Structure 1
């Protein structure tokens, strides 16, 4: 039975159509996937459902009756709950306050806030996720990214007697979660489904969609391409419908082999946050860094970036006996970095594509290396944008107007502005669609063939195995093992995290 039906959804920004006569039907008690490349219109549709964006045209029916959707209050009255792609938390409030924020705070005698009941409600919501390690009194800013996402998910599970939840809209909820946390979320989703609620699930992780969803609707360029039952379609068909082209191989083949020339040797390196690093890298090699959440993966990259100061050990790197002393020095030594949180760590969202792309390279784009040339900046950015297949309306466009995948490509444009000797990638494909992922993989492969060395982290184990030559396994902020990827399986790699 159809629970929700959207028709003729159109939203234009100037000449560009974010949604062009799009449609969506969700059945009661189903998990419905919404898929498409970055910029296909998924996030805009979610904002329309949330009442945050006013469409140019739209028809919404609930249980066969046409209903208004003029703002967030209408969405709340219909029982819509939202987990947006970006972490919309108030970092200086407690976990409990963030979870209960959308509800009326319980009060004692109608006056003072009943904080005991606030914490009880927050704790009950976390318990539904089988989460018992998060203190509801702790400041949310002190949590890891994954735990902050769990807090956002828990906030949608707080009950409301006035407007019971009927539709949960989840936009990339697993992007910052570990495998175990994902399993807990999917158990909750199954429970919601059994209770009769519907879930609109947006994810670029194909395995999640194929294993946990009932149907899938695919958008491309703001239009609805098709809706299919998961049991009656395939990964290949979904990818082709999303991209308009067939992508037969998940990971592009390596062209050539890493050079024999040694690039880096690390001996018993210890910093404030990691210990026991001991490995070597050849030019053109791709080294993965893996482990359970918060095991020190990102800190390995930060050591090469100059953020983690060596306390002991020896490093021979770029024919020098020292690591960079600061990130600014690292960029000068052609060490490029792509952070895991592009919006918080990687971008000046209200500045233009050009401003973001050229930031570390201003000295090379100026006259007499003093004043940067805007003309050179635009030419430089345009060439790199074409290389990374960036979709934009103009180079002066603010980055906040771009889709998540295209924001990630801007960060990559900065990293590729001067061909790096070492490329540091921290979760480089988080929140990126399958087509953009393939573009990123192809770029990394091309850099490797040209002699650039890469160190990358990822919570996507097949991605690490498919892209890397070797994988460094971290446990409790210490190096545990290094393993060749030839013949390695995700199950075996995961097992090494616990050995």
Structure 2
């Protein structure tokens, strides 16, 4: 089995250290977890290993022999493959083209692209993953989020002239996967390590780490805290290493009653009334219509069979109107849907609220307000005009939250708000949400984390194929009991309500 050693990894931005003198040894045949809070340095470490960011210091050895690592090509030549968290596929091209994206296409006689071979290579990679159901000739953009992530994983598994990669780096790979899809991925990881590959597994999900990883390294504030075997460690010990403090795995309780004011009324494919201060969960299997329901409140899509009234008026016609009426939205995919990565933190925070500044731009006021909201969300950054794409994933999520909270919303729409957020920051988000609820803000929350839904929501609306099947009170409800409501009865046909997902325009 090969051994890869990365020594003295350091990187600073504008004189501020993001990673300081971190060393890491990865062994073939083992899964090594990398954990830490947002801003701990995990993303920077991955970028250094990938060769996409120049290190201030770094040396690499394979079985004691030095390796060059000054570029992404060096990393690829060394046999390093990367599966990133964000769903940055190209939606306008086929699945097969996405699977082979970034590598030379096979050609016939050195001239025309050998498209049958391209599709065959994509099928082989997907079959190895257990995802043979995906049509390699179809457009990638038409697939659900889980299948899009499987395409990205398959892209890292495409054989390079029969050569086995030495290292696979997986960054929050299960964030967009269902439980069944995650199990498929875990089986693939087991097959890769059985063939001698090393796997660096970056995740905030402690239960996953303890189930599939052999070793774990914890970073805090850009520095190495601990490395050791997972066996024998408890969940509380890992949390303490990540945060430096004991963190209770709990949710802030409701301390103020739900108000009487009706904030939203929905009838049709879904049928409910939402009151001031209430936190309503929307749950179901993947792609059951959760995001589509939230989109209705933002003017993002229409159905002929669902009527929505918000704060006594009709549904907003556009997102701009929704923001102006006190509706704030935190989308599921922060990079693809929520952020302008090349623009500043300031611009990202104030963009939907520019009307507050009058007809002329007021950069000073924008900086002041954006800084105040960023401080409230404890965003870590160098300066308020820093491009948001330079922040860690968790701090990017906090910027999206800062934008949503800026206008003191009356209705807050949260689509997977803690995806990719570490255990320490989650409690901060839960506290913020609970505080908004106490101030009378109505909240609709979707999440694939069932304990999160039960811990934060007053009621949970269950969707199946875009149709509401029931609304459950969370008091006394367990995750196992909630999950049973996601599946239709055998041979039953849900015809009581029309479907939001099938009729959305």
Partner of 1:295: 288
Q: 2:466 aligns with which of 468, 477, 484?
A: 477
* Aligned residue runs from structure 1 range 58-207, under 5 A: 58-161=58-161, 163-207=163-207
Question: 1:363·1:372 contact (CA, 8 Å) conserved in 2?
Answer: no
Q: Provide TM-score, normalisation by structure 2.
A: 0.92
Find out whether 1:4 has 2:4 as its counterpart: yes
Work out the CA distance in 2 between the residues paired with 1:142 and 1:25. Answer: 40
Partner of 1:450: 439
4+ aligned runs moved over 4 Å, structure 1: 312-316
* Aligned residue runs from structure 1 range 225-374, under 5 A: 225-268=225-268, 276-309=269-302, 311-312=304-305, 314-320=307-313, 322-364=314-356, 366=357, 369-374=358-363
- Displacement of 1:184 after TM fit? 0.8
Question: 2:35·2:218 contact (CA, 8 Å) conserved in 1?
Answer: yes
SS at match of 2:218: strand
Deviations 1:82-114 (A, max 9, x none): 112333433333211221235443333444332
Work out the CA distance in 2 between the residues paired with 1:337 and 1:488. Answer: 27
Deviations 1:449-498 (A, max 9, x none): 11111001112222211211111111111111111112222222222111
SS at match of 1:233: coil
Partner of 2:495: none
Once the two structures are overlaid, the 10-residue window that deviates more, 393-402 or 376-385, is: 376-385
Partner of 1:271: none
The 1:370–1:104 alpha-carbon spacing in structure 2 relative to 1, beyond 3 Å, is closer
Work out the CA distance in 2 between the residues paired with 1:343 and 1:277. Answer: 29
Question: 1:289·1:297 contact (CA, 8 Å) conserved in 2?
Answer: yes
- Displacement of 1:313 after TM fit? 5.5
SS at match of 2:271: strand
Once the two structures are overlaid, the 10-residue window that deviates more, 95-104 or 119-128, is: 95-104
Question: 2:243·2:424 contact (CA, 8 Å) conserved in 1?
Answer: yes
Partner of 1:209: 209
The 1:105–1:265 alpha-carbon spacing in structure 2 relative to 1, beyond 3 Å, is closer
Work out the CA distance in 2 between the residues paired with 1:313 and 1:88. Answer: 32
SS at match of 1:196: coil
- Displacement of 1:314 after TM fit? 5.0
Unaligned residue ranges in structure 2 (runs of 5+): 489-505
Deviations 1:381-425 (A, max 9, x none): 122111111111111111111111111111111111111110001
* Aligned residue runs from structure 1 range 402-481, under 5 A: 402-481=391-470
Question: 2:263·2:411 contact (CA, 8 Å) conserved in 1?
Answer: no
Work out the CA distance in 2 between the residues paired with 1:361 and 1:414. Answer: 9
The 1:138–1:315 alpha-carbon spacing in structure 2 relative to 1, beyond 3 Å, is closer
The 1:107–1:372 alpha-carbon spacing in structure 2 relative to 1, beyond 3 Å, is closer
Question: 1:77·1:163 contact (CA, 8 Å) conserved in 2?
Answer: no
Deviations 1:123-146 (A, max 9, x none): 111111211331111222332332
The 1:72–1:446 alpha-carbon spacing in structure 2 relative to 1, beyond 3 Å, is same
Work out the CA distance in 2 between the residues paired with 1:329 and 1:104. Answer: 46
The 1:104–1:414 alpha-carbon spacing in structure 2 relative to 1, beyond 3 Å, is closer
SS at match of 2:264: strand
Work out the CA distance in 2 between the residues paired with 1:104 and 1:412. Answer: 40
Work out the CA distance in 1 between the residues paired with 2:142 and 2:466. Answer: 19
Partner of 1:272: none
Work out the CA distance in 1 between the residues paired with 2:459 and 2:448. Answer: 15
Once the two structures are overlaid, the 10-residue window that deviates more, 216-225 or 48-57, is: 48-57
Work out the CA distance in 2 between the residues paired with 1:287 and 1:342. Answer: 22
SS at match of 2:158: coil
* Aligned residue runs from structure 1 range 366-405, under 5 A: 366=357, 369-405=358-394
The 1:314–1:79 alpha-carbon spacing in structure 2 relative to 1, beyond 3 Å, is closer
SS at match of 2:147: helix
Aligned length: 488
Question: 1:103·1:160 contact (CA, 8 Å) conserved in 2?
Answer: no
Once the two structures are overlaid, the 10-residue window that deviates more, 68-77 or 12-21, is: 68-77
SS at match of 1:416: helix
SS at match of 1:472: strand
Work out the CA distance in 2 between the residues paired with 1:324 and 1:91. Answer: 28
Unaligned residue ranges in structure 1 (runs of 5+): 269-275
Work out the CA distance in 2 between the residues paired with 1:408 and 1:313. Answer: 30
Partner of 1:48: 48
Partner of 2:501: none
